[in-house]
Copies of this chain bind each other. A is one copy, B any other.
Amino acid sequence: MTNATAPLDFIRPEVDRALQRFVDRRRTAFDDPDLAAVLGTVRDFLAGGKRLRPAFCYWGWRAAGGADDPGVISAASALELLQASALVHDDVMDSSDMRRGMPSAHRRFEKLHVDSGWHGSAVQFGEGAAILVGNLLLIWSGELWRNSGLPAESLASAQPVFDHMLTELMNGQYLDLLAQAHGENSFESARRVALFKSGKYSVEHPLRLGMILAAQSREAWIDQVCAGYGQNVGIAFQLRDDVLGVFGDPAETGKPAGDDLREGKRTMLIARTLELASPAQAQSVRALVGDPKLDAEGVATLRTVIEDTGALASAEELITTYVKEAVAVLDAAPIEAEAREALKALAIAATTRRN
């Protein structure tokens, strides 16, 4: 039924179904036709995810000896609701126009306001509605997690990690805002923010949650495997994100070219570029990154600098190194063989993706 060499292909339709079932069960709370836009936005947004976090959770469960069980799919799918919540709020915070190839949630509600000829500020309406939609997704994440149908002992063992992950995610996102506000950062500080904002929450904690759910207790060897594999893959995952944010194909990423540059994100890739740049190159980076009016020519200039300094090659090298270290951790870990292969394949999928 599962295939360790295509560990995402297996999980995607399962997660799709679990999310659809969950949202369908909440339809009665949306009887009012005025609420149709809320539920429609949630549905469209949820259709688009990569399902990476649920995959790490599911294969963590299998790694620690869990048998196939619809409960673990539901619990893992809760991570996709959490990710959707984070993206909806992120887009408000960054004023991003596009996400997953569609208008971002706040732009969608803004357009509804404009098209309907309503009173007041369409921008404010859009942002307010998106904050609420993000909250719904956050609330539903906890609800799906707790109602997965897994044994109470499994959930009780993993709940503190789930709770901790949520607080850490919010703190990581705040540190990210702060890094942008502080302006320039070293590679090391960019790496730290990436680890807290994205790395731990995208890879390490999903894996840990799956393993604890199966083991029904948080054991030291589990923490070691999750930290070793998770942090390496997490940072490599974020480096790939940094690269896609500059060089990605909009048709695949679902976001306009150079969006990260325009928003002034203080990524590891930009930090590395500045560390390797000549004074003239650095001046050009500082002038262009974070310019809200950055055009195609400016994006092209930045791409050239990032390549010419060797920062792009350095990022690619680091990704390869991190993935190798993660694979070494798996090879030494006392986990199920099929899950080991799946987690290797996932490490590669997460860090060579094009979207």
Contacts and interface: CB of A to CB of B under 8 A. Distances in A.
Interface of A: 26, 29-30, 32, 34-35, 38, 89, 92-95, 113, 116, 118-120, 124-125, 127-129, 131-136, 138-140, 142-143, 146, 159, 163-164, 166-168, 170-171, 173-175, 177-178, 180-183, 264, 290
A125 B38 contact: no
A121 to B, nearest CB: 9
A287 to B, nearest CB: 13
A93 B127 contact: yes
25 contacts: A29-B167, A29-B168, A30-B171, A32-B175, A34-B174, A35-B174, A38-B171, A38-B174, A89-B131, A92-B131, A93-B124, A93-B131, A94-B128, A113-B181, A119-B290, A120-B181, A129-B177, A132-B173, A132-B174, A134-B135, A135-B138, A135-B170, A139-B142, A139-B167, A143-B163
Contacts of A35: 171, 174-175
Contact of A174 (B119, B120, B129, B182): B129
Contacts of A132: 89, 170, 173-174, 177
A165 to B, nearest CB: 10
B142 A29 contact: no
B125 A181 contact: yes
A139 B168 CA distance: 11
B139 A170 contact: yes
Given A93-B124, A93-B131, A136 B30 contact: no
Contacts of A136: 167, 170
B183 A119 contact: yes
Contacts of A167: 26, 29, 136, 139-140
Nearest to A131: B89
Contact of A146 (B94, B131, B135, B159): B159
A119 B286 CA distance: 12
Contact of A139 (B89, B116, B166): B166
Contacts of A175: 32, 34-35
Name the 9 nearest CB pairs between A and B, nearest first: A93-B128, A118-B181, A119-B183, A139-B166, A136-B170, A132-B170, A128-B177, A29-B167, A143-B163
